[in-house]
Amino acid sequence: MCWQKSVYGPQSITRIIMNWKYKAHLLAVLSRVPGGRAAYHCLQRMAGTNRLQLDRDLNRALELVDLIHEADGKIAGSDVFEVGTGWRPMVPMVFSLLGADRVVTVDVNPWLTLPYAAETWRALGTRLEEIATRGGASLEEVQQRYTCCNAHAHTLVDLLGPLGIEYHYPADARCTGLPEESMDLVVSSNVLEHIPAEIQLDIHRESQRILRPDGLAVHRFNPQDHYSTVDGSITNGNFLRYSSADWNWYGGSGLSYHNRLRSPEYRTLFEQAQLSLDIFRERVDQRTLQAIQDGSLPVHSEFSRFTAEEQAVDYVWVAARKAPVDNAVAAASASLQSNRSL
């Protein structure tokens, strides 16, 4: 039965798994059925797609550290708010090791678990020197902080508490409940591309409210088509070929949500929230740019207002600070409030 071999053999199965549309259909269905979110988490565990990738994940956290230093901010002694914890508290743990006083991290989804957190902490123990060097901290201090946590703790609170990390789920970064001007840093890694524009604007406004006057909002995000990481046959701008209506099924809703915003739109959202950009660094993916320019990636008219380079941006790094309040606007709003209270 040779035909069976060719249809169902390992190579065919690999081809199916690697085809982005199969993954997209699976996620679209799981997003729409009861219990789909739990099934998704289970599948991820089985496939190992949320396993710790120490080099990659640590480097992402350290990129935030680099951005903060580049924008003249500091981590030691700071109060930090993280948007979108995800599966592992890599960013909060690295910031804690570098001397942050308090790290509040929130997520609308329950991805973080005690085993993931403990595994991450144990793995970080092998990289203290690198963390100290890149974070500009003394190795002795980082080692000392590492000893204050018990990786065998029985609850997340017991594991994270001694590190000054407060994890909140379910919690929405649009309404943190934190006092005005109580945080030095608002950070996120690989989160903003998963948040619709109107919600992102509210998150930036909330960041603006909770940041101290000299505070920084520091984000790194990934505006590329995430399906290109499982299917090498598509470029990471592949999703630009679809209308919003078509994309809604593949990745415009539910578990695989990606907003497909292009970099000028992200820039506008920061500015609309009165966050002025110290750093806005973009990376253009050359393969995608080439495909757009030679016509092999036909871009939908919804994106035609962007240049080919803007369409092909696949990573962005941002450091923004509270824009100086316009005195005229502040005076007008103060007088409005005093009139109201009369």
Ligand X SMILES: C[S@@+](CC[C@H](N)C(=O)[O-])C[C@H]1O[C@@H](n2cnc3c(N)ncnc32)[C@H](O)[C@@H]1O
Report the C-alpha dihedral over residues 159, 161, 163, 169, rounded to 10 degrees: 90
> Strand 183-189 relative to strand 79-83: parallel, antiparallel, unpaired?
parallel
Decide if 308 contacts 289 (C-beta within 8 A).
Answer: yes
SS3 93: helix
CB of 111 to ligand X, least distance (A): 5
Residue 39 Cβ vs ligand X, minimum distance, rounded to whole Å: 16
Please, what is the minimum distance in Å from the beta carbon of residue 231 to ligand X? 18
Q: Which is nearer to ligand X, 87 or 167 (CB)?
A: 87
Shortest separation between residue 83's beta carbon and ligand X, angstroms:
5
Q: How far is the CB of 117 from ligand X (least distance, A)?
A: 12
Residues that bind ligand X (CB under 6 A): 83-84, 86-87, 106-109, 111, 172-174, 189-191, 194-195, 199
Q: Considering beta carbons, is residue 167 or 242 the nearer one to ligand X?
A: 167
Q: Which residue is nearest to ligand X (CB)?
A: 86
The residue (of 186 and 299) whose beta carbon lies closer to ligand X is 186
3-state SS assignment for residue 319: strand
* Rounded distance between C-alpha atoms, residue 284 and residue 112, angstroms: 32
Which residue's CB is nearer to ligand X, number 108 or number 308? 108
Burial code (b: 16+ CB inside 10 Å, e: under 16) for 70-102 equals: ebebebeebbbbbbbbbbbbbbbbbbbbbbbeb
CA–chain centroid gap for 146, Å, is 25
The DSSP string of 140-182 is HHHHHHHTTS-TT-SSHHHHHGGGTEEEESS--TT---PPTT-
Strand partners, 321: 216, 276
Q: Which is nearer to ligand X, 183 or 299 (CB)?
A: 183
Q: Which is nearer to ligand X, 86 or 215 (CB)?
A: 86
- Residue 269 has which token pair? 């959202």
191/240 with CB nearer ligand X: 191
Q: Least distance in Å: CB of 90 to ligand X? A: 7
Tally of helices (H runs) and strands (E runs) in the chain:
16, 7
Least distance (Å) between residue 174 CB and ligand X: 6
